[in-house]
Every structure is written in structure tokens, then in C-alpha cells.
């Protein structure tokens, strides 16, 4: 068996072709671009220049999901089906599209007042890290997202972590806080 290159992983393997075929008919569109390029990088740019906005999102998220599936198989010896790989890509895309609708200016810590959540900026020269956990029980996946911002509401950095396995809600939130602290500490 030869070395697996990125083209083979994302386009040439039967599993990848199955993903492109099932994923909302992207196979025909991707193949039209494949015929015009020689490398995966060229393919990505061809797709970004010719697909609709929603198909661009599906394409990029499916690339990520195929890559993630390969890593889970390689490092944890866990097979993921074509449907689960596509569903993960579409779930992340749906979440991303929802997040893009939000106004992130001035996001700070949450203050609870009479059941309402009121966002406030962190104090001057402080940073705020928002952390959230997501449990995908159907796929036995726990995911965390972290966004770091300053007192002006400006974006500093973000990070996501996905782990195969399910926590209960309190454990997932605690693990998210731990991972956020570890991440911030690693930045210096």
C-alpha cells in the first residue's frame, strides 16, 4: 500500500466518493471541478470560485468531516459511516450558519437578573473566554467551543475540540472549562 496523499483521502477513496455522492448531490459538481485541476488546493479554489454559498459550506465542512473521520479511525480505531460523516459536517455547518447571524460586539460575561441573561463586557485589560459544550448522543461525540474576546468586544481567538465519547452535562461543562484554561495557559 502506498502513502495516502490528500487527493486520495478527500477525493479518490471510495469512502470519500460515497460522501460526495450522498451529500446533497455534490459528487457531480465536485467532479466538474476535478477535471479542471491537478491538486487538492487547486480543487478547493475552483470550488470556492464556482459553487453557491451553501454548496461551498457543504464542501468545506465535508472536507473537515472526512479528515476528522480519518483521524478517529487512525488514532482511536473507530469506524464512522458515510451517513455519520455527512451528518457531522451538516450539523457543524448548521451551527456555523446560526452563529454567523449573531452580533458578537460587546460580548462579555453573563449576569443573571430575574431569569434574563444580560451580556456585559469584561473589565478593562481583561479578556473573556466563552465556553460551551455540545453533546451529540446519537454519534457518541462531545464537542467544545471556546471564543476569546477583549474588553472592546473584539475577537482574539477561538478553538474547538471534538472527542469521541459522551459525558453527562455537568461533566461536559467542567471538561470544557478545564480545556479552556489549559488552552489559555498554553498561549502564555
What is the DSSP code (8-state) at residue 139? G
CA distance 18 to 22: 6
CA distance 177 to 29: 41
SS (HEC) of 91-117: HHHHHHHHHHCCCCCCCCEEEEECCEE
Residue 40 in contact with residue 6, Cβ under 8 Å?
A: yes
Can you tell me whether residue 31 is helix, strand or coil?
helix
Spell out the residues 6+ positions from residue 100 whose beta carbon is closer than 8 angstroms to its own. Answer: none
Name residue, grid cell 473521520: 69
Does the pLDDT value for residue 41 go beyond 50?
yes
**What dihedral angle (degrees, nearest 10) is formed by the CA atoms of 169, 170, 174, 177?**
60
pLDDT tens digits for range 9-20: 778 778 888 888
pLDDT tens digits for range 53-84: 888 888 888 888 888 888 888 788 888 888 88
CA distance 172 to 30: 37
Task: Quote the pLDDT of residue 118.
Answer: 58
User: Cell triple for residue 148?
Assistant: 476569546
Task: Quote the pLDDT of residue 3.
Answer: 63
Residues in the chain: 188
SS3 helix, strand, coil % of the chain, rounded to 5? 55, 20, 25
Can you tell me whether residue 66 is helix, strand or coil?
helix
Q: How confident is the model at residue 102 (pLDDT cuts 50, 70, 90)?
A: low
pLDDT tens digits for range 114-165: 555 556 678 888 888 888 888 887 778 888 888 888 888 788 888 888 888 8
Amino acid at each position: 500500500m502506498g502513502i495516502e496523499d490528500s487527493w486520495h483521502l478527500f477525493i479518490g477513496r471510495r469512502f470519500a466518493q460515497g460522501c460526495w455522492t450522498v451529500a446533497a448531490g455534490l459528487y457531480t459538481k465536485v467532479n466538474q471541478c476535478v477535471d479542471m485541476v491537478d491538486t487538492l488546493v487547486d480543487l478547493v479554489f475552483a470550488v470556492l470560485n464556482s459553487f453557491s454559498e451553501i454548496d461551498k459550506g457543504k464542501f468545506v465542512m465535508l472536507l473537515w468531516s472526512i479528515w476528522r473521520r480519518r483521524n478517529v479511525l487512525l488514532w482511536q480505531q473507530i469506524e464512522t459511516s458515510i451517513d455519520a460523516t455527512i451528518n457531522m459536517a451538516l450539523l457543524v455547518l448548521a451551527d456555523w450558519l446560526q452563529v454567523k447571524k449573531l452580533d458578537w460586539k460587546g460580548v462579555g460575561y453573563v449576569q443573571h437578573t430575574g431569569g434574563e441573561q444580560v451580556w456585559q463586557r469584561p473589565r478593562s485589560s481583561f479578556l473573556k473566554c466563552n465556553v460551551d459544550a455540545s453533546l451529540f448522543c446519537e454519534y457518541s461525540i462531545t464537542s467544545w467551543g471556546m471564543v476569546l474576546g477583549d474588553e472592546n468586544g473584539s475577537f482574539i481567538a477561538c478553538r474547538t475540540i471534538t472527542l469521541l465519547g459522551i459525558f453527562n452535562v455537568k461533566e461536559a461543562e467542567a471538561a470544557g472549562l478545564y480545556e479552556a484554561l489549559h488552552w489559555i495557559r498554553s498561549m502564555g
